Structure 1
Amino acid sequence: MAGAPSQCVFCQKASNPTPATLLHSDDKVIAFQDIRPAAFSVCVRPPAFGEFSADLPLCNPRNAAFWHYLVIPVQHIPTVNDLRRGEEDYALVSHMLGVGRTLLQRDAPQAKHRFGFHQPPFNSVDHLHLHCFGLPFTPKWKFVKYLSLGPLGFIEAEKLLEKIKPS
């Protein structure tokens, strides 16, 4: 990862992944659960059980399923501001979104999904990362961190793709 800061936590994770914590890995991106999830469900519905029932023993906070994943490029890209209109960046972000959608369809098919990126100065890590949520946000106040605030704050993945779509 030429040019990547040695202290970048996501570069370290991408170059030295722990297979047990990875949800997805390929030559372009890796995906893993956010360490501070903003969205989770306390009622887990394994596919084998069919329809959800509040009577299931799985419906308690000890068995919460967290649906807040991050998809990051293996190559160091600091922020959305470093992406350019063109085929290469468009293909990368499209791939990131595809991986996120696949993971949430598998793990949280009944939940509404949301995908997006923090924009500077509100990004916490200077390594591009796609947030993938199975809603709702829990606790509910955490949604504030993911508000779309125009050129600042959070940008939906589809909106970013529109901005960088090749001409």
Structure 2
Amino acid sequence: MTDCIFCKIVSKEIPSEIIYEDDKLIAFKDIDPQAPVHIIVIPKKHIKSLNELDQNDSTLIGHIFLTIKELVKQLGIKEKGYRVVNNCGELGGQTVPHIHFHVLGDRKFSWPPG
């Protein structure tokens, strides 16, 4: 997907502060952090949104969440607590059409969000 900013981060066309990468996903610091810890975790495969997932993506999504589990430990927020957010569609607040997960931590969050 040539117009996708996250695909350009995956291909290294756009620089980012990568904190983790493997053959399936990449995690990087958010450029507009909403918490002291705010990273974005994306699959390298372009998937527009949660609505576009199918059964073939179940292993990938499982891998993303298991990686998040390890990253929060490395980032020192596992025990204190953190939030994982996926925005889907315009009313859901999705601004980049590439499925992604915000991992936020190191501050108190309120409920309901937004």
Interval containing the TM-score (normalised by the shorter chain): 0.7 to 0.9
Contact 1:108 1:134 (8 Å CA) reproduced = no
Corresponding position: 1:131 with 2:102: yes
Unaligned stretches of 5+ residues in structure 2? none
Count of aligned positions: 109
2:81 counterpart (97, 106, 112): 112
Instruction: Give CA-to-partner distance per residue, 1:19-49, whole Å, 9 cap, x none.
Output: 8721111111000011111111xxxxxxxxx
SS in 2 for 1:132: strand
Detail structure 1 runs of 4+ shifted over 4 Å in the superposition. Answer: 17-20
- Match status 1:98 vs 2:69: no
**CA distance, structure 1, for counterparts of residue 70 and residue 15 of structure 2:** 18
Cα shift at 1:111: 2.5
Higher helix proportion (structure 1 or 2): 1
Q: Report deviation, 1:17.
A: 6.8
- How high is the TM-score relative to the length of structure 1? 0.58
1:97 and 1:115 in contact (8 A); partners too? no
1:68 CA displacement: 1.0
Q: Under a length normalisation based on structure 2, what TM-score does the superposition of the two structures give?
A: 0.83
Residue number in structure 2 paired with 1:32: 28
Counterpart of 1:125 in structure 2: which amino acid? Answer: V
Tell me the alpha carbon deviations over residues 127-147 of structure 1, each in whole angstroms, 9 at most, x when there is no partner: 110111114268x7xx42xxx
Deviation at 1:116, TM superposition (A): 2.5
RMSD over aligned CA atoms reads 2.2
Structure showing greater relative contact order (alpha-carbon pairs closer than 8 Å, 6 or more residues apart): 2
Alignment match, 2:38: 68
* In structure 2, C-alpha distance between the alignment counterparts of 1:13 and 1:20, rounded to whole Å: 7
Look at both structures and tell me which one has the larger radius of gyration over its CA atoms. 1
SS in 2 for 1:102: helix
Structure 2 CA distance for aligned equivalents of residues 17 and 90 of structure 1: 28
Structure 1 residue ranges without an equivalent (≥5)? 41-66, 145-167
The CA deviation string for residues 67-111 of structure 1, in whole angstroms up to 9 with x for no partner, is: 111111111111111012x2x311111111122221111112342
| Aligned match for 1:16, one of 12, 17, 20 | 12
Q: Is the 2:20–2:28 Cα contact (8 Å) retained in structure 1?
A: yes
Percent identical across equivalent pairs?
Answer: 30
